[in-house]
Structure 1
Amino acid sequence: MEAQKPSTGQIALTYGALLGFLSIALAVVLYVTNSLLDQNWITALVGFLIMLGVIVYGQQVFKKANGGFMELKDALKVGLGIALIGGILGAVYNYIFLTVIEPDFINLIIEKQREAMIESQPNMTEAQMNQALELAGKFARPWVQSSIQIIGGIFFGFIISLISGLILKKSNPHQY
């Protein structure tokens, strides 16, 4: 009797929820410490490392549950599933944050961009600045930011899943 293969969907759901909650926890810590507007490469690196760790761990859990074997397609399914679920949860939190918790946050972002433009390009005319800020405002809308968060999560999830899947894959020689 052949052993039943573990469900990529169940593992993706479990670890996708973990990724989503860790991402939300990071966002909450940044908010509570008043660091949301001052994000830098370290913050981005921490978020990326959280995603990397959860995806690789989820793939390892799948491989172990599958008798130590994992095909690349299964690694991609698990990793992309984790990234998608985590991205959706993070995007839902982001949407709630921008519309309910801190609805004026977008105005703070735009004002910070205005200050950065004045500092980096002091010769910019008021009309040019207003045009740039108007465009930035369109991208700062809650549903646009949430959509970008999901798409970005899937993109980076694919890259991570592909690389780690190529490293972790091991074919079952008894399977045809």
Structure 2
Amino acid sequence: MENTTTPATATPSSVAIRYGLIVGLISTIISFALSMAELDQTPAKWLTTIVLLVGIWMAHTNFKQQNSGFMTYGQGITIGTLLSLVVAIISLIYTYVYVNFLDTNFAARILDKTRADMEARGNMSDAQIEQAMSWTAKFVDGPLMLAFVVIFVVLTGFLASLLISAITKNPRPEFE
């Protein structure tokens, strides 16, 4: 007797959620480690972005493996964007907990470093520095910072998905 059941295929959302949880957890661990080592304001902070890009690539590879090697460009963008949304939600929760409970001096530390960087450049007057600091304070503390985290992660993931999907796509032939 022949087996007539078709193999289970993965959906873009199931792969995106699974890999989003994995990437979100890894990114949170890296962010916490960088914060503890006080490297969160150095180029090392881009490690989480690299993890996001690798996660999107791996999610595409996994999706194709579970779907006979096929993935359309749209499916790739969907996977990457949903994965980024899951990562953004995890990052939002982590950032809220970290800033409000674990490191209550976070905003002050960022503002101090920003002021020191502006003063070190020497191309701004005291009035310009004060104005820039008042704007910076709005984005470093409170709901705007949390919104910025979500927007940055989702936008980065979407833009990366546009490029990565163009590379990893393998649409099913029309007349198969």
> How high is the TM-score relative to the length of structure 1?
0.88
Alignment of 1:22-37 (within 5 A): 22-36=26-40
In the TM superposition, structure 1's runs of 4+ consecutive aligned residues that sit over 3 Å from their partners are 1-5
User: Does the Cα contact within 8 Å between 2:31 and 2:45 map onto a contact in 1?
Assistant: no
The 1:76–1:109 alpha-carbon spacing in structure 2 relative to 1, beyond 3 Å, is same
Structure 1 position 52, deviation (Å): 0.9
Aligned residues: 172
The 1:122–1:49 alpha-carbon spacing in structure 2 relative to 1, beyond 3 Å, is closer
Root-mean-square deviation over aligned CA pairs: 1.9
Of the structure 1 ranges 3-12 and 93-102, higher mean CA displacement relative to structure 2 is found in: 3-12
Q: Deviations over 1:35-82 (max 9, x none)?
A: 22x412x431x2222111101100111111011111111111111111
Alignment of 1:1-20 (within 5 A): 3-20=7-24
User: Does the Cα contact within 8 Å between 1:13 and 1:82 map onto a contact in 2?
Assistant: yes
Of the structure 1 ranges 50-59 and 157-166, higher mean CA displacement relative to structure 2 is found in: 157-166
Percent of aligned positions that are identical? 22
Q: Deviations over 1:106-161 (max 9, x none)?
A: 01111111222222126612x33222211110011232222112111111111221
1:84 match: 85
Does residue 134 in structure 1 map to residue 142 in structure 2? no
Q: Deviations over 1:8-39 (max 9, x none)?
A: 11111110011111111111111221222x41
> How high is the TM-score relative to the length of structure 2?
0.88
Structure 1 position 3, deviation (Å): 5.0
User: Does the Cα contact within 8 Å between 2:71 and 2:170 map onto a contact in 1?
Assistant: yes
Q: Distance in 2 between matches of 1:108 and 1:175?
A: 60
User: Does the Cα contact within 8 Å between 1:17 and 1:86 map onto a contact in 2?
Assistant: yes
Alignment of 1:87-166 (within 5 A): 87-121=88-122, 124-125=125-126, 127-166=127-166
The 1:54–1:175 alpha-carbon spacing in structure 2 relative to 1, beyond 3 Å, is farther
Amino acid at match of 1:169: K
